[in-house]
Each structure stands twice: as structure tokens, then as C-alpha cells.
């Protein structure tokens, strides 16, 4: 099977020739893996790991505003960031200038210099799809629309939670600016691709380690209609929908199925209620799961043998009937042992132990 056919078969709950493969890596672990193999391009690493999906997205081409004083960088929303070294071999941009927190009235919202769908260049989308024609071609990302995390970077997490719970008009207007922008970017990208995109990728962290982030009635009233627009849009263009959500989503999965979600990404096996056998039995014929390889416990702290055992368990569990994309549950971090990462992908590809230790 070609990679595209393999992924689409799994989503259709048919048995592919092998379980399709995805990967999520921080830049630091990606570079370590590339150095291990002697690669100079990230695509070489995707090929070596047998990754069956590729991403195309329009680049943001409008010049960014100047970084605020005390910030190392700025994004298109005006949020300033410092590059924070977390002490484990890598760094993350953390917001230190919350531009959206300064918006106090609807007039402030109307006057703010919001990014526009016109700030992206869609001209290369079809050619990029053609270059990846053998693969399952994805557009979008985990930050689309990413209401809670995305807006909180510019407004503060506590404030965004209050905005949602109290239906604060200013906060809701800010949230809808983000949703509307990404909806139109997604629409124009799908239009430019001329039917050559297979999966629209979305993101919304609907769960924490204990369960849903919000009461079900708030999910239904606030999040569901905003996410439903994107799911319906993708299906109108004939493609599938994958949504990233960290945390325990067990109680929400029936909602996702009702909404028409095809793939639930970043499936964490650690929280109570996220047991892979139980999830497969309850929802495995209706949802495709992407993830389930532990990035909180097994990959960073387990032995190589434990990593192999967990990978084999997932592969065997979903051996028949599709419904699974083999992947780490989240981005593999910089301090994870290289041997553990190599081990899970050797198992996914059915290679002998140590195959990736030989270049």
C-alpha cells in the first residue's frame, strides 16, 4: 500500500498492510535523531521512520510587528515571548507580553490590528500537495483554532476561562476573531488544494489529566459549535478531520463522534479512563486514534524493553480493523533516550531490534 492508502484504510476501519505511522518531535530531539542517522533534512527522518502523513500549509508572509521590549520574539497576534530554557535540554517560547489582555472594551477589539487571512500565501498549496501525492496530505495544525491555549497566550489562562464561563462580550469577541481567521485560512487552503488534501488538522485541549476541561454543558454551548464549523468545512471539501486534544477525553468521545470527527489525536494513555483496550472496545469502530505511546512515562523514563513492549501492545491491539495511527501521545522531548525513540519505530516497522543503530 502507498502511505495515503494505508492512512485512509485505517480511518475507514479497514485493515491496512501495516498500521500507519506518525511522529511528533521537539526541535531538539529531531536534531539528535538526524545527527544519529547523519541526515541533513527533516524529511529524511520522516522517511526513515516510515511516517505516512505529510503537512502543507500556507506561509504567513506579512511582516511581524516589532517584538515588545523585554521579549525575544513576537507572533502575528502581537503576543511577545521569551525563549525559556526549562533545564532538560530544550527551550520553549513562553509569553511575557499579553497584548490581548489590554483589550477592555468592544471598541478596543474593533481597533486592534488583527491578522488577516490575506496575510497568508496560498499560491504554493497545490504544488506542495502534488509533491506529497503518495502520502496522506494534511493541512492545519494543533493551533487551529486552539481557543483555550491559543487565546490564553495573549490574554492569560485564568482570564480566558473566565471569558468562556461568564460569556464576557470582550473575551468572546477575541475568541471569535481567532476562530474566524483560522476558519477562513482553512477554507482558502482547501480551495487552493483542489481536492488534494486528505486531512484537516485541528486542535483544542478539551481534557486535563482528570477529565474534561469544562462541564459538558459549556463544551456543548461554547466549544462544540465553534469546532463543528471546521469539521463541516472539511467534510464539504471531501477530507477527513483530525483534532488534537491532550488529556482525558473519555467522556467527550461520544460528542466527538456525533460531531463527525474522524481522528482523535494526541491520545494519552496515562489518565484514568484512557485505557487503550477500553477505548477500542467503546469507540474504536467509530473513531480513529492517533497516539497512545506514553510520552509522560514510558518514552522518557522506561527501559528500551518497556518501550518495545508498549509499542507491540498497541500494534497488536489494533492489528485488525484499522482505527489507529501509531504515534507518540505528544511531542517527544529533548531529554528522551534516543534508544527508546528508535525502539518504538523499529517495532512499528517490524524491524529487528537494533536496526536503526546501524545507519
Per-residue pLDDT reduced to its tens digit, 40-69:
999 999 999 999 999 999 999 999 999 999
> Could you give the CA distance from residue 130 to residue 152 in angstroms, rounded to a whole number?
36
Q: Which residues pair with 91 in a beta bridge?
A: 85
The grid cell for 36 is 544519529
Backbone angles phi, psi at 209, to 5 degrees: -65, -20
**pLDDT one-digit tens code per residue, 70-87:** 999 999 999 999 999 888
The grid cell for 252 is 467527550
> Could you give the CA distance from residue 3 to residue 292 in angstroms, rounded to a whole number?
20
Class of domain 3-62+100-357: alpha beta
Q: Which residues pair with 328 in a beta bridge?
A: 293
Q: Are 218 and 160 in contact (CB under 8 A)?
A: no
Domain boundary assignment for the chain? 3-62+100-357
The grid cell for 296 is 509522560
The grid cell for 293 is 505511546
Please, is 299 exposed, middle or buried when counting C-beta atoms within 10 Å of its C-beta (0-12, 13-18, 19+)? buried
What's residue 359's pLDDT?
56
Q: In tens digits, what is the pLDDT along the chain, a chain of 359 residues? A: 999 999 999 999 999 999 999 999 999 999 999 999 999 999 999 999 999 999 999 999 999 999 999 999 999 999 999 999 888 888 899 999 999 999 999 999 999 999 999 999 999 999 999 999 999 999 999 999 999 999 999 999 999 999 999 999 999 999 999 999 999 999 999 999 999 999 999 999 999 999 999 999 999 999 999 999 999 999 999 999 999 999 999 999 999 999 999 999 989 999 999 999 999 999 999 999 999 999 999 999 999 999 999 999 999 999 999 999 999 999 999 999 999 999 999 999 999 999 998 65
Amino acid at each position: 500500500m502507498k502511505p495515503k492508502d494505508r492512512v485512509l484504510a485505517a480511518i475507514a476501519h479497514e485493515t491496512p498492510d501495516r498500521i500507519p505511522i506518525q511522529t511528533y518531535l521537539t526541535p531538539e530531539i529531531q536534531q539528535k535523531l538526524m545527527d544519529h542517522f547523519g541526515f541533513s533534512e527533516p524529511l529524511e527522518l520522516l522517511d526513515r521512520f516510515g511516517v505516512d502523513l505529510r503537512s502543507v500549509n500556507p506561509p504567513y508572509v506579512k511582516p511581524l510587528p516589532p517584538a515588545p521590549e523585554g521579549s525575544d520574539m513576537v507572533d502575528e497576534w502581537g503576543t511577545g515571548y521569551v525563549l525559556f530554557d526549562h533545564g532538560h535540554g530544550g527551550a520553549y517560547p513562553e509569553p511575557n507580553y499579553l497584548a490581548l489582555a489590554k483589550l477592555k472594551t468592544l471598541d478596543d477589539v474593533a481597533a486592534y490590528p488583527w491578522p488577516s487571512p490575506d496575510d497568508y500565501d496560498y499560491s504554493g498549496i497545490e504544488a506542495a500537495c502534488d509533491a506529497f501525492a503518495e502520502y496522506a496530505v494534511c493541512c492545519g495544525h494543533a493551533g487551529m483554532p486552539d481557543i483555550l491555549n491559543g487565546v490564553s497566550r495573549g490574554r492569560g489562562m485564568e482570564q480566558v476561562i473566565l471569558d468562556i464561563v461568564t460569556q464576557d462580550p470582550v473575551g468572546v469577541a477575541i475568541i471569535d476573531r481567532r476562530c474566524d481567521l483560522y476558519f477562513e485560512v482553512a477554507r482558502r487552503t482547501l480551495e487552493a488544494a483542489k481536492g488534494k488534501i486528505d486531512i484537516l488538522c485541528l486542535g483544542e485541549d478539551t481534557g486535563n489529566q482528570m477529565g474534561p476541561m469544562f462541564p459538558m454543558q459549556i463544551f456543548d454551548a461554547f466549544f462544540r459549535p465553534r469546532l463543528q464549523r471546521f469539521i463541516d468545512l472539511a467534510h464539504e471539501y471531501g477530507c477527513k478531520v483530525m483534532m488534537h486534544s491532550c488529556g482525558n477525553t473519555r467522556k467527550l468521545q461520544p460528542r466527538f463522534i456525533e460531531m463527525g470527527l474522524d481522528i482523535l489525536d494526541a491520545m494519552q494513555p496515562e489518565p484514568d479512563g484512557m485505557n487503550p483496550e477500553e477505548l477500542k472496545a467503546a469507540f474504536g469502530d467509530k473513531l480513529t486514534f492517533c497516539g497512545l505511546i506514553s510520552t509522560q512515562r514510558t518514552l522518557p523514563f522506561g527501559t528500551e524493553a518497556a518501550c518495545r513492549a508498549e509499542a507491540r501492545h498497541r500494534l497488536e491491539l489494533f492489528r485488525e480493523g484499522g482505527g489507529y495511527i501509531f504515534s507518540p501521545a505528544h511531542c517527544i522531548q529533548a531529554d528522551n533516550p534516543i534508544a527508546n525513540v528508535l525502539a518504538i519505530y523499529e517495532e512499528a516497522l517490524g524491524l529487528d531490534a537494533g536496526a536503526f543503530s546501524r545507519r
